[in-house]
Structure 1
Amino acid sequence: MREYIVEAGQLAVACLEWGPQDGWPCLMGHGFPYSPHAYADAAPILAAAGARVIAPWLRGYGPTRFLSPDTPRSGEQAALGRDMLALMDALGIERAVLGGYDWGGRAACVVAALWPERVQALVTGNSYNIQDIARAMEPAAPEAEAALWYQYYFHAERGRRGLEADRAGIARLLWRMWSPRWDFDEAAFAAAAAGFDNPDFVEVVIHSYRHRFGLVPGDPAAAEIEAALARRPRISVPTIRVDGDADGVNPGTAGHGSRFSGPQELRVFRGAGHNLPQERPADWAQAVLDARALAEAGPGSGG
């Protein structure tokens, strides 16, 4: 494994990388509140299959830093997608297999939807991760609303103060609630929690969970991308969608199939919760390999 920092767009992005540098490019994004260490077991499997696996710390996490103090500390989906595209440009990667879950899966979906020529194949936890902000205030079923308690908590100043005071405590609770069958060890949690000490973590997180409900404005530099995402673009690249049947925050997404116009497949990881690549690294790696094979098979493949 290699670690480095590269300037890309608005950020100095810290990355973990596995595999040969001339391998087929594979970018993997982590979610909230996790880290690139979520791929520590899946990435070596992919590297052994010839992949150059790159897992960045997202904006607001780990050693990643904003290049300018004047840049809005936005956590909106458009900014996350633009960050992933900028990282590809900075690394000289024209086309890659993209994957991720939660925030990282959203970034991958944004790039796949708006710049499909840059994406060979996609693996996305919880399927179509692009937010429908225009409908964000429509109520959901009581069980779904209860699972989103942390988002509503972050809408208030009390939630901001709570996150500032005990980032690791909130994250640990969410890990337990979202992956109730995952017996994660302290070392795994500590590796991720170290990244929450980033000076922009709280601001980026709070903005993310307020912007998705239309409660705060976005970064003007990302407005054009947000406008494109508001049109709910379909994803045309070959895709493997992944759910965990024990996901405590995002239940099954079988109905998302209509948002994908290319070859696609839905896989359900039995007993897995929300942190799919870390809970089921071998299965995640196989999904990435199979998504790439789906792409190489050409039109007409998939279900």
Structure 2
Amino acid sequence: MEHEIDRRIVKRHCCDDCEQVFTTSSNLKIHRKTHTGDKPYRCDQCGAAFAVKNNLTRHQRIHTGDKPYRCVQCGAAFAVKNNLTRHQRIHTGDKPYRCDQCGAAFARQGDLTTHQRIHTGDKPYRCDHCGVAFTRQFHLITHQRIHTGEKPYRCDQCGAAFAQQSALIRHRHIHTGEKPYRCDQCGLAFGGQDYLTTHQRFHTGDKPYRCDQCGVAFAQQGDLKRHQRIHSGDKPYGCDQCGVAFARQSGLIRHQRIHTGEKPYRCDQCGVAFARQCHLMSHQRIHTGDKPYRCDQCGAAFAQQGHLTRHQRIHTGDC
């Protein structure tokens, strides 16, 4: 008899469209709106519509600024109770979302979902300009600024503009001279936490970013991404004037000086200017007399690698 009662309860609260089961009839009624598309609750300020009244109530706090959920430990306030719950994990250290492949734990479901893409290789956010794909939406948004030239983060002291907020924060340290992040092994100080973290890998030898195709490991994620373009042939940085594409943004910046005529590297002794730093360094050897390239057969020394290469043909007979 008990099993028959259970079956009647399940049947009464089962969705006819997808067979999902609910414990109450009210929850089933709310769920059915996902199939019908019914959104009877509408915001009178912006017109946004919702299937559930509670969702409308939460939404309206955007307009009112109401944040009724407050953290008792630090006073931070939130419009939605779930956001307070996630925030409190900062204080408790609770990480309830665990990866079933590597065991890594996270405080938020969204962070676990993003992490799992490391294992699946899923990159759902694709650039409609060049086709490059990303695991996170904000990485795509930042990347697209390469194509649009958008730099929304501007320094209020010198006017320099940046595509990323983190770049602006690091830039501001130029004006303040502040370097709050100090290495506890060598005392070197940095303007950003990410710079310190990367630096500390010189002491530990840690290279956490490994290429899944050839096994080469890197201390920085950016270096791994650039390396992987060797395998993929990807060249996401395209010149908007002639269409030539590059694997690295620095390559595009150097190339664009052909069009602009810019020569930012100037010799402080004679004033000659160059488009590339390596050309300035070669030129400065005229003044210093430095000849770092030495022939291993006769000992002749040269200021430039190209001059040594031509000289060595005397010994090889390749003329």
Which category describes the TM-score, using the shorter chain as reference length?
under 0.3
Q: Give the structure with the higher percent strand.
A: 1
Structure with more relative contact order (C-alpha pairs < 8 Å, separation 6 or more):
1
Based on CA coordinates, which of the two structures has the bigger radius of gyration? 2
Give me the TM-score of the superposition, normalised by structure 2.
0.19
